[in-house]
């Protein structure tokens, strides 16, 4: 019997260390340095964060998503899920543990498709936590449909010249390099006509027009860049993978990234349940605790049920990735987790906020950020609707049409078949009467 929901005792000890370390040492950074986790370490953050990163390394937990060939422990996705659900409670934790998006996905594709020289120049510093990276795909006029992208890369001798605009390129302002998706052959299908380039962020012509902020961020705090690539010249060696391979590379990258977001979301939603339950047991109104009111009990039960289902599904999907080692084969379940994730976080955070009354909607509690985060998750790495289409298409492939007028499960048809199957017995029964 191979189904097993237990964690190995030795690994559970590691998880306990992570829980305590994140709670005691890392979460305070979120309060002292909000919105700064993706800024290069400076005189203020460096002296605090670097020793923490060393502690994580000493525990053998740095870059938990990486295989041994890249300097990680090769935990696999299931163990990573158990780690990431803890790291999801803090915006600094992924930086302290070397598992922050979009760097994880970017590292994955350079490891997979990069040349030795590209790995040395870009991958190693990224894995060491020495720099940030950016993934620049969405354009101002088109996001969900990459076949509409127009940013163009044209060969000019030994160089490529990139022109166009990209939107919501996260962390471009602090990245050392940017992975840019551009059209290299407009005469073939977009699936064969786009390529990826590794572009140092300080290349002349990489112009950040503005850094768009999310809700709650002040004007100067935004980190999602509108970039104008204005005659950006890069050498031929800047091409990542082969010419026309952008779609294949993007799928490799986004598969892992999506499930990692789902893992971290479990931790965040659990935090909202913890807050909801504490409040339910601490606050009374009209003669009884909130936790004794049936509406609030309903909030708690629904939240518990929703998160349990989601968590088991994410862990199962992580197990599938380990088992099959093939993102394509697990595509339907990764997309399903991506579809469910924003709703789970939104619903639970919303109920927890409601149970906290006015305090809940104030900026003295973290619920607004969670709810906005849920909305962002419904867009980042592709909108929910597009992933629903993927799920449905994949699922439909597992079925085939009936050529009968009536559905296979049509009861009169099945009854007739059942009667025919047991005709002899039925006649016998009748005969005995
Ligand atoms: C926090 C955050 C970080 C991001 N980081 C990056 C990044 O680092 N790099 C990057 O390149 N991009 C990034 N993005 C952009 C993200 O990938 C896009 O927002 C996403 O692909 C959707 O594109 P769009 O915003 O242009 O929406 P559109 O493509 O305009 O779609 C708008 C809406 O239309 C509906 N819709 C679209 N297509 C369909 C369909 N086929 N069927 C039914 N309904 C549909 C959906 O409701 C969708 O939300 C980020 C986004 C967010 C929110």
Q: Which of 150, 128, 126, 127 is nearest to 138 (CA)?
A: 150
Tokens at residue 428, please? 């016998």
Rounded CA-CA distance 428/423 in Å is 8
Residue 392 beta carbon below 6 angstroms from any ligand 1 atom: no
- The pLDDT value recorded for residue 292 is 98
Residue 151 beta carbon below 6 angstroms from any ligand 1 atom: no
Rounded CA-CA distance 320/97 in Å is 24
- The pLDDT value recorded for residue 334 is 95
Residue pointed to by tokens 């829980």:
19
Q: Is the dihedral of CA 63, 40, 92, 35 positive or negative?
A: negative
- The pLDDT value recorded for residue 428 is 66
Residue 169 beta carbon below 6 angstroms from any ligand 1 atom: yes
Site to substitute for ligand 1 among 142, 375, 383, 384, most atoms within 8 A of C-beta = 383
- The pLDDT value recorded for residue 24 is 97
Residue 383 beta carbon below 6 angstroms from any ligand 1 atom: yes
Residue 376 beta carbon below 6 angstroms from any ligand 1 atom: yes
Kindly give the pairing relationship between strand 175-183 and strand 132-136.
Answer: parallel
Q: Which of 167, 267, 145, 151 is nearest to 222 (CA)?
A: 167
Ligand 1 centroid vs 143 CA: distance in angstroms?
Answer: 5
Rounded CA-CA distance 19/24 in Å is 8
* Intervals of the chain under pLDDT 70: 428-433
Contact by Cβ (8 Å): 108, 256:
yes
Kindly give the pairing relationship between strand 224-235 and strand 159-170.
Answer: antiparallel
Rounded CA-CA distance 344/304 in Å is 10
Ligand 1 centroid vs 185 CA: distance in angstroms?
Answer: 24
Residue 144 beta carbon below 6 angstroms from any ligand 1 atom: yes
Rounded CA-CA distance 23/20 in Å is 5
Contact by Cβ (8 Å): 142, 148:
yes
Rounded CA-CA distance 353/272 in Å is 8
- The pLDDT value recorded for residue 327 is 85
Residue 138 beta carbon below 6 angstroms from any ligand 1 atom: yes
Strand partners, 200: 177
Rounded CA-CA distance 386/372 in Å is 20
Ligand 1 centroid vs 376 CA: distance in angstroms?
Answer: 9
Tokens at residue 288, please? 């009884």
Ligand 1 centroid vs 381 CA: distance in angstroms?
Answer: 7
* Cβ count within 10 A of residue 1: 3
Rounded to two decimals, the pTM is: 0.93
Contact by Cβ (8 Å): 66, 74:
yes
């Amino acid at each position: 019997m191979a189904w097993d929901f237990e964690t190995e005792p030795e690994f559970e000890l590691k998880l306990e260390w992570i829980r305590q370390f994140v709670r005691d040492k890392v979460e305070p950074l979120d309060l002292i340095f909000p919105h700064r986790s993706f800024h290069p370490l400076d005189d203020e953050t460096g002296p605090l964060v670097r020793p923490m990163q060393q502690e994580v390394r000493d525990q053998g937990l740095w870059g938990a998503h990486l295989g041994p060939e890249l300097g990680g422990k090769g935990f696999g996705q299931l163990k990573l899920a158990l780690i990431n659900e803890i790291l999801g409670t803090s915006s600094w934790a992924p930086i302290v543990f070397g598992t922050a998006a979009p760097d994880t996905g970017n590292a994955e594709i350079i490891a997979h498709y990069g040349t030795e020289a590209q790995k040395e120049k870009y991958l190693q510093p990224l894995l060491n936590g020495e720099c940030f990276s950016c993934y620049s795909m969405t354009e101002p006029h088109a996001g969900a449909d990459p076949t509409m992208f127009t940013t163009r890369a044209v060969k000019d001798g030994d160089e490529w010249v990139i022109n166009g605009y990209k939107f919501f390129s996260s962390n471009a302002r602090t990245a050392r390099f940017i992975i840019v998706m551009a059209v290299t052959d407009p005469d073939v299908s977009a699936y064969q006509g786009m390529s990826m380039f590794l572009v140092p962020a300080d290349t002349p012509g990489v112009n950040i027009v503005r850094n768009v902020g999310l809700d709650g961020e002040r004007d100067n705090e935004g980190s999602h860049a509108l970039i104008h690539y204005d005659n950006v010249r890069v050498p031929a060696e800047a091409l990542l993978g082969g010419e026309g391979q952008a779609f294949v590379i993007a799928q490799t990258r986004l598969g892992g990234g999506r499930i990692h977001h789902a893992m971290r979301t479990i931790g965040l939603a659990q935090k909202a349940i913890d807050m909801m339950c504490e409040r339910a047991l601490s606050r009374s109104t009209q003669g009884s605790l909130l936790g004794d009111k049936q509406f609030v009990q309903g909030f708690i039960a629904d939240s518990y049920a929703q998160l349990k289902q989601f968590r088991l599904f994410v862990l199962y999907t992580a197990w599938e990735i380990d088992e099959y080692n093939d993102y394509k084969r697990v595509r339907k379940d990764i997309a399903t987790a991506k579809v469910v994730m924003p709703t789970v976080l939104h619903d639970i955070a919303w109920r927890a906020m409601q149970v906290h009354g006015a305090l809940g909607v104030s900026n003295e509690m973290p619920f607004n950020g969670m709810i906005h985060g849920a909305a962002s998750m419904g867009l980042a790495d592709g909108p929910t609707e597009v992933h629903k289409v993927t799920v449905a298409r994949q699922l439909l492939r597992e079925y085939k049409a009936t050529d009968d007028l009536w559905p296979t499960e049509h009861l009169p048809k099945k009854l007739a078949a059942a009667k025919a199957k047991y005709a002899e017995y039925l006649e016998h029964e009748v005969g005995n009467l």
